[in-house]
Every structure is written in structure tokens, then in C-alpha cells.
């Protein structure tokens, strides 16, 4: 194996076979010896099919894919937890997996004891743990809690402790699986800072994530796994783009039905979303009772549920006047399409004149997908101009 390669995966396949009844008993083992025909129907699931790739030393390598695509299986094989059914995996250097934070944490032990246990799993002797013990506690901000049992910790405290242990691990290769999915914003910032540090070192990092922003930001290279095969491997931006496209394509099909708004609302009878240079929402309101100058608004949310833009008649200083019972009113909103790739949902809301009494709030009443040719890690892409002039 070439010296600059950290991990070499050659023609690896992984099958999981399930027999009908999962727990085998001694009796059934005996009877199946005698009754060959009683062999249960075996269903084989091909989690990975003949995968080959290399990861170079010092690389920050992303693995992306949908749930069930086989990426976790691959990660477990890289970590040596699962054995490949076929093929070879060669690992060059000390590999530490973070499939989960705080592996081996025991709720019945104190924080201190757990640090030593977790340290042992990461390959640290007691002496070595003692040397950095104070730092760990300080970093986790848990000075007063170390002699309390872990079961009395909040989940946030546990994660903090686990993370401050995890970053002690001295590895040539780190496997990180969705660690960022837990913890609050502050904790995520800590994680990102740690990754930034790692990028400067020689550590090879393999990073499995659903967060394309993180993948674009950190990874030199990435790989998209879909249905057990490598669909795309190469530049992280490109792979992230294909990953988003995977969802977009899927949604296009669904959208054909879902975009046609069914009209379960009492007030809003129609909603159409047009996407072009501008995004236009238009529809029909038919009140079932008289509404005195209601406030009418919308919110656009991204796939994580964060409201990213919206407006209403009050903000726009637009008086709606009286909407009579059973009358029909059309509406249309329009805003420049500055959204970057992804899936978005729309809430529509009708609120009373006072601004507090909700007449109707329709969550995720509309859904649309943006697919642009240029990609960006940021959620909005307004037109940005740059002028670079040399100063004389």
C-alpha cells in the first residue's frame, strides 16, 4: 500500500441475512439438522455492493447519503466493528471511531469514574488520563459535578463530558458519525472549532453527515453513497450538490401531487407556487365569516424548519379592509428568488386585527424545491456584486 494512503477499501461488499425467526435456539439448531426442508426463508440484504475507494493521509473526507444508503454500515466496517462479507479494508494508522459520544458511559458510575472508563476505551492508561483529567473537567465545565453519578447529569452535561474526552483521543484517523447532530448551538460551535483545528493537523478525518453546509466547509473530498453503491466521489461541493439533487429529484415527483393544494382550510381555497427569477405565491381566500381587517402573512421555512423569510400585510402597511363572508379574494405574494438549493415549506396565516388572535395558521401548507446550477453553502443567495480595483 502506498505510504500516503490512510484507508484503502477494495471491492467491499456487505450482506446482512435475516432468517424468519431471529433468535436461534439450541432446539431449532438440532431440528434443522434433521429437517433440512425446515430451513427458514432467508432474506439477504445487500447493504454495500462492491465498493472501492482510497482515503489519503491528512484528508478530510466526507461520506454522505440518505438514511439506509449503507453509509453507517461502511463506517462500522472501517471501524472494524463489522467484517466485510467480501473484499478488503486496509487501515494504515491508529483509528478512533466516534460512532457515538461517550461510549461505555455507565449511569451508575460517577463522572470521574466514567472519564477513566471512557479513557480506557480510547486507549489511555490511568496515568495518562490523570495527566489531562483537570483539563477535561475544565473544558466540560463540570468541576462541581465530577463526584456525582452520571445518571444525575443532564443530557447536555453528559455530551459535554463525552466531547471533552473525545478530543483527547490521539488518532491518526478519526471517524466521526453525526456527532454534531446533538447538542446546542454553543456545543456545535465547539465541535466546529475542534474540526478547524484538526484540519490544520495531519489527522485524517472521515466525516459522515447530513449537514451539507458542514461537508462543504470542512471536507476536501466527499463520497455520495446511494443504495449501497458509490454514486459520486470527488470534490466536496460537487458531492454535496448531487446529494441535494437526490432529494430534489425525489421531491419533483412528489411535488406534482403535493403542490396542488387540496384545500382543507376554511379560508384559503387555493395556493399556487411559481418558481422562476421570482417566487410567486398566489391563491384564493373565501372567508366563512366576516373578517374585519385581518392581517395576512406567510413564512418560508427551510428543510430544518428554520423560518428564513416571510412577511404580512401589517409589515407591508397594507390594509385588507373587510372581507365579507363567502366573498372571494385572490392574493399574490412575490419575492426575488434568492434561496439556495433545498426543500422549503410555506406557512400561511390569517390573524385578527389586533395581531394576536389567530384566525387560521396553516403550517407547511405549501412545499417547493429550489434547484440552481450554482450552489452555495448559505441559505440565501442574493445577487452580490464585487468590485476589485487596484488603488494607485
Contact residues: another protein, CB under 8 A:
16, 23-27, 29, 76, 79-83, 94, 97, 99-100, 103-104, 106, 108-109, 113, 116-117, 120-121, 123-126
Contact 180, 156 (CB under 8 A): no
Q: What is the DSSP string of 195-259?
A: HHHHHHSS-EEEEE-S-HHHHHHH-SEEEEEETTEEEEEEEHHHHHHHHHHHHHHHHHHHHHHHT
- Rounded CA separation 128/116 (Å): 10
**By C-beta, is 108 or 383 nearer to another protein?**
108
**By C-beta, is 17 or 373 nearer to another protein?**
17
Min. distance of Cβ 81 from another protein in angstroms? 5
Min. distance of Cβ 138 from another protein in angstroms? 23
**By C-beta, is 106 or 217 nearer to another protein?**
106
Distance between first and last Cα of the chain: 54
**By C-beta, is 208 or 369 nearer to another protein?**
208
Min. distance of Cβ 25 from another protein in angstroms? 5
**By C-beta, is 97 or 297 nearer to another protein?**
97
- Rounded CA separation 199/57 (Å): 12
C-beta neighbour count of 371 within 10 angstroms:
18
Q: Which residue has the cell 478547524?
A: 196
Closest CA to 63 of 205, 191, 207, 177: 207
Min. distance of Cβ 94 from another protein in angstroms? 8
Min. distance of Cβ 196 from another protein in angstroms? 25
- Rounded CA separation 130/181 (Å): 30
**By C-beta, is 34 or 305 nearer to another protein?**
34
Min. distance of Cβ 246 from another protein in angstroms? 28
Amino acid at each position: 500500500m502506498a505510504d500516503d494512503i490512510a484507508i484503502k477499501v477494495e471491492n467491499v461488499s456487505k450482506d446482512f441475512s435475516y432468517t424468519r425467526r431471529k433468535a436461534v435456539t439450541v432446539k431449532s439448531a438440532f431440528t434443522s439438522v434433521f429437517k433440512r426442508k425446515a430451513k427458514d426463508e432467508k432474506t439477504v440484504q445487500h447493504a454495500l455492493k462492491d465498493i472501492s475507494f482510497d482515503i489519503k493521509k491528512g484528508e478530510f473526507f466526507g461520506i454522505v447519503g440518505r438514511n439506509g444508503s449503507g453509509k453507517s454500515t461502511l463506517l462500522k466496517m472501517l471501524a472494524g466493528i463489522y467484517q466485510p462479507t467480501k473484499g478488503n479494508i486496509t487501515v494504515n494508522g491508529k483509528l478512533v471511531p466516534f460512532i457515538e459520544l461517550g461510549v461505555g458511559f455507565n449511569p451508575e458510575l460517577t463522572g470521574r469514574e466514567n472519564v477513566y472508563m471512557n479513557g480506557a476505551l480510547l486507549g489511555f492508561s490511568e496515568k495518562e488520563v490523570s495527566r489531562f483529567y483537570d483539563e477535561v473537567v475544565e473544558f466540560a465545565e463540570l468541576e462541581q459535578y465530577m463526584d456525582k453519578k452520571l445518571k444525575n447529569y443532564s443530557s447536555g452535561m453528559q455530551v459535554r463530558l463525552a466531547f471533552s474526552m473525545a478530543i483527547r483521543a490521539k488518532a491518526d484517523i478519526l471517524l466521526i458519525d453525526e456527532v454534531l447532530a446533538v447538542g446546542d448551538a454553543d456545543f456545535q460551535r465547539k465541535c466546529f472549532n475542534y474540526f478547524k483545528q484538526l484540519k490544520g493537523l495531519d489527522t485524517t478525518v472521515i466525516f459522515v453527515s447530513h449537514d451539507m453546509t458542514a461537508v462543504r466547509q470542512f471536507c476536501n473530498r466527499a463520497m455520495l453513497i446511494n443504495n449501497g453503491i458509490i454514486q459520486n466521489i470527488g470534490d466536496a461541493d460537487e458531492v454535496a450538490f448531487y446529494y441535494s439533487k437526490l432529494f430534489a429529484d425525489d421531491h419533483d415527483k412528489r411535488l406534482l401531487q403535493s403542490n396542488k393544494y387540496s384545500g382543507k382550510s376554511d379560508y384559503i381555497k387555493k395556493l399556487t407556487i411559481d418558481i422562476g427569477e421570482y417566487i410567486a405565491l398566489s391563491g384564493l381566500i373565501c372567508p366563512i365569516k366576516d373578517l374585519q381587517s385581518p392581517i395576512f402573512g406567510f413564512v418560508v421555512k427551510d428543510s430544518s424548519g428554520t423560518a428564513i423569510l416571510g412577511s404580512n400585510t401589517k409589515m407591508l402597511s397594507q390594509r385588507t379592509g373587510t372581507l365579507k363572508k363567502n366573498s372571494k379574494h385572490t392574493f399574490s405574494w412575490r419575492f426575488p428568488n434568492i434561496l439556495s438549493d433545498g426543500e422549503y415549506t410555506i406557512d400561511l396565516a390569517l390573524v385578527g386585527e389586533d395581531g394576536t388572535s389567530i384566525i387560521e395558521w396553516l403550517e407547511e401548507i405549501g412545499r417547493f424545491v429550489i434547484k440552481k446550477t450554482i450552489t452555495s453553502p448559505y441559505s440565501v443567495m442574493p445577487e452580490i456584486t464585487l468590485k476589485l480595483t487596484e488603488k494607485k
